[in-house]
């Protein structure tokens, strides 16, 4: 059976091909149950990366991105915590709704695009992975990343636009993954965001983790706010609701916090100012790449639709600047790397760039939890 798993690379590939095949979640349920019940051996990330590269051998190589060191002397002997934030582009939306006019449909084929996504994740080896627009959680990300040692959580949108697309793979939503060998789950909350006292279609996941190496507690959250121009006040209300939830979870900032998300908001929007001025004392990590440390990157998404070219800064990693240091951040793609047809492309699987930061705890003993 395809769901059986051996140690050889060829057997790994047969399972990978089955696990990653497109189609409705229900079509994979029997296979997933067999995988769970068999308690199969972990996957070696090098083997999985090799299999992805076999699938991608006719595509251009991955873009080269380098980490920028932001803090030379952390005063810590502990390993940093690597956090990755990424809107991976829901497959149903990429093929059925987003209308990327300069992107060939062949570049969006799930059989290959999923391997580009996995290759990006495997290349940066995050300790914590925060994703938006995940519509292949049950048949791709959960079965594979759980076998790479991650604990996995998914919270779908109540009325996902993916469900309007024919042959969809179920709703999209936010997903969070953390390495069980590094962290212990203390508490977890799935949050349906409200705006103007109304429940909305946008969600968040917030988990309090204990670092096994340091014994420190911290909270990690992922969200995806309402899209489109004209919804600025709505996003602001969603941001206020999320901040209030996070204040409760972190006991008023006693527990350090990292918030990852596609906020669908430029730095000029009210929701950005709310996070900047919050009593949680948050800073945006990617500002630190700028010469003055105060300016966001010029873009985190760049695409071409029938209405024209869209180049915006919408994605952020916020962190408690009193309790955490940003040791390094992954540089963004240059305009030359992205190319004239923009994103997504044969080189890159999403219309959003991944953000990756290495964090360490401040050594202030008064902040130890």
How many Cβ atoms from other residues are within 10 Å of residue 369's Cβ?
A: 14
Q: What is the pLDDT of residue 216?
A: 96
Alpha helices in 265-308 (DSSP H): 270-276
What backbone phi and psi angles, to 5 degrees, belong to 354? -75, 145
Alpha helices in the chain (DSSP H): 9-19, 29-38, 45-55, 91-96, 110-124, 142-147, 232-249, 270-276, 335-338
Does residue 39 lie in a domain region? no
362: part of which helix (H) or strand (E)?
none
Does residue 51 lie in a domain region? no
Per the CB < 8 A criterion, the answer to whether 353 and 120 are in contact is: no
Does residue 240 lie in a domain region? yes
Task: Give me the chain's average pLDDT, please.
Answer: 89
For residues 133 and 46, what is the distance between their CA atoms, to the nearest angstrom? 26
- Predicted confidence band at 31 (pLDDT cuts at 50, 70, 90)? very low
Residues near 62 by beta carbon (within 8 Å), at least 6 away in sequence: 116, 119, 120, 123, 347
Q: What is the pLDDT of residue 40?
A: 65
For residues 38 and 29, what is the distance between their CA atoms, to the nearest angstrom? 14
Closest CA to 245 of 233, 266, 259: 259
Does residue 26 lie in a domain region? no
Helix 29-38 / helix 9-19 crossing angle, nearest 10 deg: 140
Does residue 47 lie in a domain region? no
141: part of which helix (H) or strand (E)?
none
For residues 94 and 134, what is the distance between their CA atoms, to the nearest angstrom? 12
Closest CA to 357 of 65, 83, 80: 83
Q: Distance between the two ends of the chain, CA-based, in angstroms?
A: 49
In the numeric block, the tokens 């803090």 are attached to 71
Does residue 43 lie in a domain region? no
Number of domain units in the chain: 1
Per the CB < 8 A criterion, the answer to whether 194 and 173 are in contact is: no
Q: What is the pLDDT of residue 312?
A: 97
Q: Which of 20-24, 252-256, 335-339 has the lowest mean pLDDT?
A: 20-24
On the question of pLDDT at 23 being above 70, the answer is: no
Q: Residue 290 is part of which domain span?
A: 80-363
Q: Which residue has the higher pLDDT, 142 or 366?
A: 142
Q: Which residue has the higher pLDDT, 76 or 339?
A: 339
- Predicted confidence band at 1 (pLDDT cuts at 50, 70, 90)? very low
For residues 316 and 267, what is the distance between their CA atoms, to the nearest angstrom? 10
Does residue 91 lie in a domain region? yes
Q: Which of 40-44, 100-104, 126-130, 219-223 has the lowest mean pLDDT?
A: 40-44
Give the CATH number of the domain where residue 92 resides: 3.60.10.10
Does residue 44 lie in a domain region? no
């Amino acid at each position: 059976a395809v769901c059986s798993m051996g140690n050889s690379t060829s057997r790994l590939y047969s399972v990978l091909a089955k696990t990653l095949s497109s189609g409705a979640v229900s079509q994979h349920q029997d296979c997933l149950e067999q995988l769970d019940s068999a308690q199969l051996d972990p996957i070696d990330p090098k083997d999985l990366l090799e299999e992805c590269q076999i699938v991608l051998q006719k595509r251009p190589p991955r873009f080269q991105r380098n980490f920028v060191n932001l803090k030379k002397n952390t005063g810590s002997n502990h390993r940093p915590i690597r956090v990755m934030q990424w809107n991976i582009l829901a497959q149903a939306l990429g093929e059925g709704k987003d209308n990327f006019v300069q992107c060939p449909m062949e570049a969006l084929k799930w059989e290959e695009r999923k391997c580009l996504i996995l290759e990006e994740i495997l290349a940066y080896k995050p300790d914590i992975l925060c994703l938006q627009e995940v519509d292949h959680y049950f048949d791709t990300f959960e079965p594979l990343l759980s076998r790479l040692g991650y604990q996995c959580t998914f919270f779908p949108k109540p009325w996902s636009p993916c469900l309007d697309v024919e042959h969809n793979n179920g709703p999209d939503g936010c997903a969070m993954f953390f390495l069980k060998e590094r962290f212990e789950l203390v508490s977890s909350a799935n949050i349906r965001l409200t705006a103007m006292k109304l429940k909305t279609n946008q969600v968040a996941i917030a988990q309090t983790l204990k670092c096994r190496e340091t014994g420190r507690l911290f909270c990690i959250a992922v969200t995806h706010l309402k899209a489109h121009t004209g919804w600025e006040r709505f996003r602001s209300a969603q941001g206020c609701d999320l901040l209030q939830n996070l204040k409760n979870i972190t006991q008023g900032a006693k527990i350090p916090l990292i918030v990852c998300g596609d906020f669908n908001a430029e730095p000029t929007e009210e929701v950005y100012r709310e996070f900047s001025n919050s009593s949680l004392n948050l800073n945006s990590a990617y500002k630190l790449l700028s010469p003055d440390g105060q300016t966001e990157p010029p873009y985190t998404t760049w695409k071409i639709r029938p209405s024209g070219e869209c180049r915006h800064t919408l994605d952020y990693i916020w962190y408690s600047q009193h309790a955490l240091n940003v040791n390094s951040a992954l540089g963004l793609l240059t305009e030359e790397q992205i190319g004239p047809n923009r994103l997504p492309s044969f080189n890159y699987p999403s219309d959003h760039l991944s953000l990756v930061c290495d964090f360490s705890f401040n050594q202030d003993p008064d902040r130890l939890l």
